[in-house]
Structure formats: C-alpha cells, structure tokens
Structure 1
Amino acid sequence: LRKNVEDFTGPRERSDLGFVTFDITADILNGKNDFCSIFDWNVKQLFLYLSAEYSTKNNALNQVVLWDKIMLRGDNPRLFLKDMKSKYFFFDDGNGLKGNRNVTLTLSWNVVPNAGILPLVTGSGHVSVPFPDTYETTKSY
C-alpha cells in the first residue's frame, strides 16, 4: 500500500509514504535462524529489526527501519508474527516508491553483550516486494 502525502518536516513537497504488512517466523531454540549460537554467557539481549532497502533515480541506496524488537535472555525465543504492520513511517524523500519493483526487506540483529563490542548480524533471508504503480486514497491502513 502506498500513498502520496505532504511531508511537513521539510519543503512543502509531496512524498511517498509506504505501508508494509509482513510475517516473521524465527525459532531461536531450534536454530532455524542460527540464533542458538548467539545466546552464550556474554549475550545480554538481541536487538532485531526489519529494514527496507531500495534505490531510486535520486539515491543509489535508501535504507529504512520498519520494525524492531528487543529480545532479552530468557524471553520466548520463538517469533511467529503474522500480518504485522510497520512500526515506523516508511517515507521516501520524493516519489521513489511508486512503481518500485525491488524493495528488499531484510531481518537483521545486533547482539548486545554484557561486555565487549556490538556485532551487527544480517539475516540470511530477505525478500523483494514490488510497490504498486498507483496511489491508495483510503484513510485507513
């Protein structure tokens, strides 16, 4: 779903606002996303986030975080999220979402240790989704 709305944070130009609904299935105990080896004695928590990456004629690379979750040691390590909506706005700084056929969604995570460096790990699975060629005019998402 994509709308063309006025962005009040800058010049009074209209920008694309994307809405994404997604599913995430991750089973940390069984290691389907290799989270098993991540939770060792020095791991306090994981910061998981879903990002969208795409290119436009104005920018070779655009990256936007759409959703995030903090997973503490001892939390249920199974994620079965269905029909989730974006937690954060998905604004493009122009009209780069309209008809964009290659918006790639990627699940990544940061390991937050008790002590030491913060490694960034990108998930092995990602999916590309096309955006429509027309604007949605409904008021609800």
Structure 2
Amino acid sequence: MHSTIVRGQNVFGFFTTVCFVVAALIAASDLLAPRTPKATVAVKDLQVVRGRPHYYSTKKEEYAIIRFSLSADLSSLFSWNTKQVFVYVSASWPNSTLGDAGKGEMVNEAVIWDTIITNPSADHLQNIGPAAMKKLVRSTKGKTIDPSRGKLELKNQKAKYQITSPDGKLAETDNMVLKLHYNVQPWVGVLTWTPQIEFGSWKKVKGGISKAFKLPAIKAKKVVEKKSA
C-alpha cells in the first residue's frame, strides 16, 4: 500500500504534467495565428548638440535629437495569448572608425523611443493614474482582443532618448536610418522578437525602416558684436 505522502506526490506529479502539456499547446497555438505587421517611419527634424545628454553625464559630447513620424499597424500581433507588446524605434548607422571595412554595416544602434501596448485583459499592469485607468477599462469592456491597440499614429514625435556615439562625435554622420522593432510577450510561452526571416504565417515587418539620412553639423553660436559708443 502506498502511503498518503506517496499518493500526494503522484497526484501532484500528474497535475504538473497536465499543466505543462496544456501550457505547451497554448504556446504552440501562437504559430497558427498569422502575424503581418506593417509600418512607415519618416524623419521630420534633426538636430545635433554638444553638451551633456544626461544629468549624470561626466563629459560633454555630441548627441542627436530626432523628431519622427510613425504609422504602424501591429494589430495582427495580438491574439488571445498576447499579454503585451513592447514597441521601440531605433537609429542605426555604420561605424566610421572602421573605414571601408565597415561601410554599409549598421554596427551602431540606439533606441530613441519606446512604448508598451497591453491587451485589454492586461490593462491592470499599466502604470497610469486611476482616472486614466477607468477610462481605459470602460473603452475596452467586453473585448478580449482590441485590434485598435496595435495601431500607432505619431506625427512629429520627439524622441525619448538622445543618440550618442562611443567616440563622442556624431555630427554629419551619414547613412543613418530609423527602424521599428517589437517584442511580443505572451501569457504563456516564450518572448518573440521582430523576425529577421519569415517563418510560416509570421511575416517580417512590411516597411518599418526610414530612408537613409545624414545628421546635420553642429550649429555655430552667433557672436553679437557690441556697438561702439
């Protein structure tokens, strides 16, 4: 006869096995849902400044401030297993210190803007005020999946983060582009990032990259001459 402890262990082991199998099936179901994101990114304003990009910076360096427009439809990333989607825009540019060897290779990349889009069932995870939370919950009441959550329309958006370079020089950097990325965080399963290749019904982001541009030179300070008496 098995003791009570052994029987409890057998029941617990069977329970965990069933939970693992169910979780695996839920995670695998994401592969059946098509993902066809598309986006358009355009640069609106560029500025290069010399100074301390952050209050904790120890030295002055060149940093870029970018304004951009973004039109994205990421609604296909939301399924019944989607918890939230982390969206971010990065700036990529080749490393000038590599010379011709690094020409065309986007070896430098910096995030300039990001946001989190939650599914209605995960709205309670957002760090917003009570009034905004009530409005958000009321607008999505009864909806399990809200396609409008994945649609972004930003015009002349100022970057959240300034761009700096390891060598401290950034003015007149050429062949820079902006790219849209995302990270899907499911309720059950693994995190999935922006695919570099198409896999089944999961497609690469259609568009999602701006035209190459060049950063301007640092504006020289105007010297005001004093009028002679």
After TM superposition, the score normalised by the length of structure 2 is 0.50
The aligned counterpart of 1:78 is 151
The aligned counterpart of 1:69 is 115
Q: Residue 137 of structure 1: CA displacement?
A: 5.6
Counterpart selection for 2:193 from 116, 120, 125 = 120
Q: Residue 49 of structure 1: CA displacement?
A: 0.1
- 1:17 aligned partner, one-letter code: Y
Please state whether the residue corresponding to 1:93 is helix, strand or coil.
coil
* Residue 70 (structure 2) pairs with residue 24 (structure 1): yes
CA distance in 1, matches of 2:193, 2:187: 15
Higher helix share: 2
- 2:209 aligned partner, one-letter code: H
Counterparts in 2 of 1:76 and 1:41: CA distance versus 1, 3 Å: closer
Counterparts in 2 of 1:105 and 1:5: CA distance versus 1, 3 Å: same
The aligned counterpart of 1:31 is none
* Residue 228 (structure 2) pairs with residue 135 (structure 1): no
- 1:126 aligned partner, one-letter code: I
CA distance in 2, matches of 1:91, 1:76: 32
CA distance in 2, matches of 1:76, 1:39: 8
After TM superposition, the score normalised by the length of structure 1 is 0.78
Q: How does 1:86-125 map to 2 (within 5 A)?
A: 86-121=159-194, 123-124=205-206, 125=208
| Conservation of the 8 A alpha-carbon contact between 2:112 and 2:159 | yes
| Conservation of the 8 A alpha-carbon contact between 1:16 and 1:94 | no
Counterparts in 2 of 1:94 and 1:27: CA distance versus 1, 3 Å: same
| Conservation of the 8 A alpha-carbon contact between 2:93 and 2:174 | no
| Conservation of the 8 A alpha-carbon contact between 2:84 and 2:116 | yes
* Residue 57 (structure 2) pairs with residue 9 (structure 1): yes
Please state whether the residue corresponding to 1:136 is helix, strand or coil.
coil
Q: Which runs of 5+ in 1 are unaligned?
A: 29-34
- 2:79 aligned partner, one-letter code: D
Counterparts in 2 of 1:56 and 1:72: CA distance versus 1, 3 Å: same
Q: Which runs of 5+ in 2 are unaligned?
A: 1-46, 120-145, 196-204, 222-229
- 1:130 aligned partner, one-letter code: K
Deviations 1:49-103 (A, max 9, x none): 0001112233651110000010111463321100100111212223442211211
| Conservation of the 8 A alpha-carbon contact between 2:78 and 2:150 | no
Q: How many residues align?
A: 128
- 1:112 aligned partner, one-letter code: Q
- 1:24 aligned partner, one-letter code: L
RMSD: 2.3
Counterparts in 2 of 1:86 and 1:137: CA distance versus 1, 3 Å: farther
Paired-residue identity, %: 27
CA distance in 1, matches of 2:160, 2:52: 20
